[in-house]
């Protein structure tokens, strides 16, 4: 499933793990990229919980190079819906 179901957008709690661009860049540089794995893990964990998917967030974060596109496809539509950059 590539689209985020609309009924999940109204559920309580954060849709995704919010981090400012500045914090993401600084933490990525300071931790030599490990923070990016943590960020992806947190987002995949929220996706799994919200959409009741049978996925392993740790492995999707660890192999983030292969799964980043599918995560970004999930993050982008709610941004347009709520008019967030």
Asked if residues 40 and 60 have their Cβ atoms less than 8 Å apart, the reply is yes
> Which residue, among 43, 44, 39, 47, has the nearest Cα to 23 in the 3D structure?
39
pLDDT given for residue 65 in this prediction: 94
Residue 25's SS3 state is helix
pLDDT of the chain, 85 residues: tens digit per residue: 455 555 555 556 778 888 899 999 999 999 999 999 999 999 999 999 989 999 999 999 999 999 999 998 988 877 677 666 5
> Which residue, among 59, 76, 68, 75, has the nearest Cα to 16 in the 3D structure?
75
User: Is this model's pTM higher than 0.85 or not?
Assistant: no
């Amino acid at each position: 499933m590539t689209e985020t179901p609309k009924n999940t957008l109204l559920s309580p709690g954060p849709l995704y793990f919010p981090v400012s661009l500045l914090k993401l860049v600084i933490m990525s540089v300071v931790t030599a990229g490990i923070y990016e794995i943590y960020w992806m893990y947190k987002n995949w964990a929220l996706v799994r919980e919200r959409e009741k998917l049978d996925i392993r967030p740790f492995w999707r974060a660890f192999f983030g190079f292969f799964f980043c596109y599918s995560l970004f496809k999930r993050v982008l539509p709610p941004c347009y819906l709520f008019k967030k950059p």
